[in-house]
């Protein structure tokens, strides 16, 4: 049975059950009782020392939290990888130290880029935070005391007219044609991305009811930030979509699009640094010459204008030409 004592700064709770002793201090008695009930239930169920392991926390997060997200598959794969790569995943979660996590960070950096590790940190931080705030399995988040790798410098890649033409030529595609091969479909998607700044996933997900060519816009009911967005279409974008299947213009999966674009890139003689996603920054930079910042943000779906600057890559020379 748990016992509770009021102390300065919070409530101290002790548990003595079946030879197991646990204690902790909480800011409120309700939080202390919630934790004590969980620990006693764990002891009854036979968990060692009444503690939850980090692996159990990641498994519960995958089941109860990740499953409700759009990126559920990615998160589950990452959490499975964390569990297998962390030598300390079997430790009680409240025994995991910043030093454990820092060692894991340094090992990961020998295998993945800093940007990938920062995404891993974001996910792992969410696991610790929900274990602290909602499950009451820990009282502090050890990841808060671990330095994250620095952000990599922003990409400066913009797609030139010659490069865009090389991609279309390599795929055997020209604007206005009805694509008949997978390479032509992917090249048409790339062409549309350069006109609209839409993401590859948004383009792949287009279906007939979302496309309004007469009114010159497409409707995206669910986007990366979870909000609906209507994307205006240039005359060229209308021409591209008018030639596609009206019900499912881009019938390719994410994996097929990625692999096909890499093949097209090789045929075009372009380097691996050239990516489909560079079309978004290129389109935003071009559109910025015709739209004010608020219309541009509405078109691209950026709620934070400062984030828009990550994609806007006009050169100093181009900006200088507008000063005269």
Positions marked active-site: 199, 224, 302, 312
Residue 191 has φ and ψ, to the nearest 5°, of -60, -40
Alpha carbon distance 187, 30 (integer Å): 59
Q: CA 159 to CA 74: how far, in whole Å?
A: 29
According to DSSP, the β-strands at 217-220 and 2-7 are unpaired
Q: What are phi and psi of 24, to 5 degrees?
A: -165, 160
Both tokens assigned to 259: 């692999």
| Other C-beta atoms lying within 10 Å of the C-beta of residue 105 | 19
The Cα 308–Cα 299 span in angstroms is: 11
**CA triplet 155, 158, 159: central angle to 5 degrees?**
140
Task: Please answer whether residues 53 and 89 qualify as being in contact, where contact means their C-beta atoms are separated by less than 8 angstroms.
Answer: yes
Contacts of 260-266 with CB under 8 Å at 24 or more apart are 260/182, 260/183, 260/186, 261/186, 261/190, 263/183, 264/167, 264/170, 264/171, 264/183, 264/186, 264/187, 265/167, 265/170
Alpha-carbon gap, residue 262 to 209, rounded angstroms: 30
Question: CA angle at residue 297 from 292 to 302, to 5 degrees?
Answer: 160
Using the structure block, give the residue that is written with the tokens 């089941």: 63
């Amino acid at each position: 049975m748990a016992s509770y004592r009021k102390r300065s700064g919070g409530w101290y709770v002790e548990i003595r059950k079946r030879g197991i002793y646990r204690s902790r201090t909480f800011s409120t008695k309700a939080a202390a009782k919630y934790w004590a009930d969980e620990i006693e239930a764990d002891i009854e169920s036979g968990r060692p020392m009444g503690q939850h392991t980090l692996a159990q926390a990641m498994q519960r997060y995958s089941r109860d939290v990740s499953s409700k997200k759009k990126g559920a598959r990615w998160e589950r794969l990452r959490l499975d990888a964390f569990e297998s790569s962390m030598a300390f995943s079997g430790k009680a979660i409240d025994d995991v130290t910043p030093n454990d996590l820092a060692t894991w960070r340094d090992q990961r950096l020998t295998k993945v880029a800093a940007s990938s590790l920062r995404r891993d940190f974001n996910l792992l931080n969410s696991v610790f935070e929900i274990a602290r705030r909602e499950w009451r399995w820990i009282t502090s988040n050890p990841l808060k005391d671990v330095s994250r790798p620095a952000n990599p410098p922003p990409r400066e890649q913009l797609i030139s007219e010659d490069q865009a033409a090389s991609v279309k030529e390599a795929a055997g595609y020209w604007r206005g044609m009805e694509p008949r091969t997978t390479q032509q479909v992917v090249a048409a998607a790339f062409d549309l991305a350069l006109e609209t700044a839409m993401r590859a996933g948004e383009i792949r997900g287009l279906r007939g009811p979302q496309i309004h060519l007469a009114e010159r816009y497409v409707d995206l009911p669910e986007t990366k930030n979870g909000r609906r967005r209507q994307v205006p279409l240039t005359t060229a974008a209308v021409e591209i979509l008018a030639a596609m299947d009206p019900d499912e213009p881009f019938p390719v999966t994410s994996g097929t699009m990625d692999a096909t674009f890499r093949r097209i890139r090789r045929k075009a003689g372009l380097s691996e640094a050239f990516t489909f996603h560079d079309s978004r920054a290129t389109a935003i930079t071009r559109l910025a010459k015709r739209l004010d910042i608020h219309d541009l943000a509405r078109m691209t779906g950026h709620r934070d204008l400062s984030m828009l600057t990550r994609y806007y890559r006009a050169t100093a020379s181009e900006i200088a030409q507008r000063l005269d």
